[in-house]
Chains A and B, each alone.
Chain A
Amino acid sequence: MPEMSVTQAPAPQKEGELVGRGRRDGNRLFKEWYAELDAAAESGDPSAYVFVMGSAAEVLKAFDLNLVFPEINSLQMAVRKVSLEYLNKAEDYGYSTDVCGYVKADVGMHLDGRKHPNGRIPKPSIVVATNMCNTYVKWVEIWQRMYGCKVFVLDIPGQRGIGWSTEPGSEQFENDRRYVQSQLEELIEACVAVTGKPFKIERLQENLAHVNRMAADWSAVLKLNQNIPAPFNAMADGLTYMGVLSAYRGTETGARYMAELREEMEHKVRLGLGTIAEERFRLHGVGPACYSYFRRFLELFQDWGAVYVNSEYLAYAGGGLDLGIQFDVERPLESLAEQLLITGRRSMSNMFFSQDQLADTVRDWKSDGIVYHSVKSCRTVSTGMADSREYLTRIKDVPALFVESDLVDPRLWSEAQFKNRIDAFFEALGARKAAALVAAKG
């Protein structure tokens, strides 16, 4: 795959304004989003609880529902170093230490009157869980019991096995699409009932058009990281970008943000600006970071001159927009069902059947190796990691590191163990690169 070319004219802004704009604007949008949620908690305006994988934002925003992302709430608690107190509340209530930390941090917050460090969180009027993580379905049952809210499970049948694929128009794909489309129609009925508002198809079409723009630019942004040096760190900067991707999906603000982010990244590529002084190693991340020690997690890699140039997390937790999907707004529901199937499958396949796709991505992004970060909280992404690593190192000769901790539970972080493994990995990676260089020189 060729590198993403830069075709647009240089941006008019000064470099100081343009570089870092995506992160600054992303942080500002996040604050504004939480402020809106705080206002909704006060006013009682209807809100929908959704998840980053398959939020159905296009439909929900057609009813002006405020979107609450519990995963982002829990992640933010960890980044702000307060997740443990929420985890403790949930464990005191009865949840096991073996239950997902995202779930427990959220439960702790609800038990605490929905007071989040970023603002108050409104009650759910409706919750939508896709099957892309099974724990989503258990999670929504907790809110159903707490609030008696409407629960809608949006079921997206995924890839059935290795090498299994279907294309739009095939009998298999159409069987699955009919099922998904029918559920979307039922979701719309549920939203009408919850909000008391009529469904306007033109609102859905508008939202789909915004996603089309957002997805095209997001896909381009990701491909710009194929350049050396990479203009952004997929694990650090990528988290901010992905947050906007989820919270502002289906909005003009979100689409504009992504266009501007693309502009910034093209500018950086043009100037050869990377994220650190010397990019010595390029990494592909599988799994999320440890957000309880986020800065330290990143430093342990940056200290070796390593940059995450891509991450599976950006694909599945970014709602599958990495593919640059384009909805056919003239047949909105059918097209939404099709794309949910395509992107949903892609996201789930990234977790269960990712090995060959991973090898291709490593090649295209010129990564030196893969870092698998297995987290106790998320068995969806973590269960198959050790095996995937074994397969890729053995069959595809891709160097890989496997480390374990958690997303939000600081009790599971062991820095000494982490550092030892990371140091050993880079020493081996350095020797491998040196040997390759010698071999190339003949």
Chain B
Amino acid sequence: MAVQVRPAFEAILEQCSELAEDVTYPSVKRWREDHPGGHAVGHFQVYFPEELIHAAGMLPVTLMGAGSRLEAKQADSHIGSFICSICRTSLELGFSGRVGFLDAFYTTPICDVARNLAGIWGRNFKGMTAEILYLPQNANAKQAVPYLRDEYARVLAELERISGRPIEEADLRRSIGVYNENRRLLRELYRYKRETPWLLSTTEAYVLAKVGTVMPREVHNEILRSALAEIPNREARRQDRVRVVFEGGFCEQPPLDMLQLIEEACYIVDDDLLIGMRWITDDVPETGDPLYALAESYFERSTYSCVQHDDRKPKEEMLLRRVEESGAQAVILAAAKMCEPGLDEQVAYQKTLEAKQIPFLLLDFEEKMTAFERMRMEVETFVESILFD
């Protein structure tokens, strides 16, 4: 009788961590080797309808900077001083040739810096499509969905040109199905974090999610299924820790060390890390016009972020809901240095939490930071003030 040995959770995690954090993109390179003539398309944070790329048989890759693992040597001479780190190191990935495997690069109008990336990318990396996907900024316009559907069709036509093959509706539906499954698995991952955070830390969930940004989603789905199957078997005891929401990781990603030091004192029971992967909160319909379904889902089945204004989703109320639904006692309001949307929103969140008498801690971070002693002290003091209040 054959004995089936399930891969240990730690082994999966270790492998994901290596792949997710490696800015030489080994998984993408391997995919290119396995798919001669294949194409890879990069996109910047926060949300991009990867189903379009996937349906073209291409590999979507999220560019989200490089943390402290890459110095912006060349990018610094192409971009002003007052710009966030994620944009600098994302450009450095291009200048250093690390993402030379890309056939196209897309950015979206999430902020003033991100829109500029298309121009800088296009001027410097010839032979590669460099465009803005104009996600609608009037989320409340009656024509926003039809407009976005047409904008997706425009991008799809460009992807067809690059891939050299037509993309049929059936291809799109198949990709929507794969991504729906991916989002379901990610929701399951977050359920563990929320309900039994001692079984799955945020750092672990983050790594398991992030690895999906550099590999085909079918493979990522396999990884998530394997990991999810292992989580209930983990041996971990519940501890008396403060439950917090981490808000401020929608674009530039905090260093793993920062998340770990917070988790030494708290359970992070919900967050907006890699929110683009979880932007759509329910299944995208797999019937009807797939482009329309994706466009409609962008507005109607989606979460919130400070890079989208939607009168139906006041961000302070959405944060309060996140706190309530996760059973959090407090909030860590983080913002990346030089990030206009994040820093603006931080003030609004702060005022709301003050009014509601919900404890919060303000933290500034940079993806490339490596010294955390002061932050550790701030977090410990914050937690003690809650525990002994």
What is the interface of chain A, defined by CB distance below 8 A to chain B? Answer: 93-96, 98-100, 103, 131, 133-135, 137-142, 145, 151-155, 157-162, 164, 172, 175-176, 178-179, 182-183, 186, 348, 351-355, 374, 376, 378-380, 382-388, 390-391, 404
Contact = CB atoms under 8 A, between A and B. Distances in A.
A299 B279 CA distance: 51
B87 to A, nearest CB: 8
A395 B124 CA distance: 11
A160 B135 CA distance: 11
Interface in B121-145: 122-124, 129-134, 136-144
A379 B82 contact: yes
B129 A161 contact: yes
B91 to A, nearest CB: 9
A133 B350 contact: no
20 contacts: A96-B335, A98-B343, A133-B112, A134-B109, A134-B341, A154-B138, A155-B137, A155-B144, A161-B130, A162-B118, A162-B130, A178-B147, A179-B136, A179-B141, A179-B147, A355-B119, A355-B123, A382-B82, A384-B120, A387-B119
A383 B343 contact: no
A138 B338 CA distance: 14
Nearest to A182: B143
Interface in B294-330: 306-307, 309, 311
Nearest to A133: B112
Contact of B141 (A186, A355, A380): A186
Nearest to A348: B115
B134 A384 contact: no
A382 B80 contact: yes
B340 A186 contact: no
Pairs A-B, 4 closest by C-beta atoms:
A383-B116, A179-B147, A155-B138, A380-B112
Contact of B147 (A95, A99, A175): A175
Given A160-B132, A161-B132, A383 B122 contact: no
A134 B123 contact: no
A162 B341 CA distance: 26
B79 A383 contact: yes
B335 A379 contact: no
Interface of B: 77-83, 87, 109-113, 115-116, 118-120, 122-124, 129-134, 136-144, 146-147, 150-151, 154, 306-307, 309, 311, 335, 337-341, 343-348, 350-351, 364
Contact of A138 (B335, B345, B364): B345
B75 to A, nearest CB: 9
A175 B87 CA distance: 31
A141 B344 contact: yes
A96 B335 CA distance: 10
Contacts of A100: 340
A103 B344 contact: yes
Contacts of A352: 115-116, 118-119, 132
Given A94-B350, A141-B348, A178-B147, A379 B113 contact: yes
Contacts of B364: 96
Contacts of B116: 351-352, 379-380, 383-384
B335 A157 contact: no
A86 to B, nearest CB: 16
Given A160-B134, A162-B130, A179-B141, A134 B338 contact: no
Given A98-B338, A179-B147, A388-B119, 10 more contacts: A94-B350, A99-B344, A131-B109, A133-B112, A145-B351, A155-B144, A160-B154, A374-B82, A382-B82, A387-B123
A95 B339 CA distance: 12
B309 A183 contact: no
Contacts of B348: 141-142, 145
Contacts of A382: 80, 82
B347 A182 contact: no
Given A98-B337, A134-B341, A157 B134 contact: yes
A12 B358 CA distance: 71
B120 A134 contact: no
A374 B112 CA distance: 14
Most chain B CB inside 10 Å of its own CB: which residue of A134, A139, A385: A134
Given A352-B115, A379-B112, A155 B136 contact: yes
Contacts of B343: 95-96, 98-99
Nearest to B131: A161
Contacts of A178: 143, 146-147
A159 B122 CA distance: 13
B340 A158 contact: no
Contacts of A141: 309, 344, 348
Contacts of A103: 344
A386 B119 contact: no
B313 to A, nearest CB: 12
Nearest to B116: A383
Contacts of B113: 379, 383
Given A353-B119, A379-B82, A390 B345 contact: no
Contacts of A348: 115
Given A162-B123, A352-B119, A384-B116, A390 B143 contact: no
A98 B82 contact: yes
A115 to B, nearest CB: 21
A178 B118 CA distance: 25
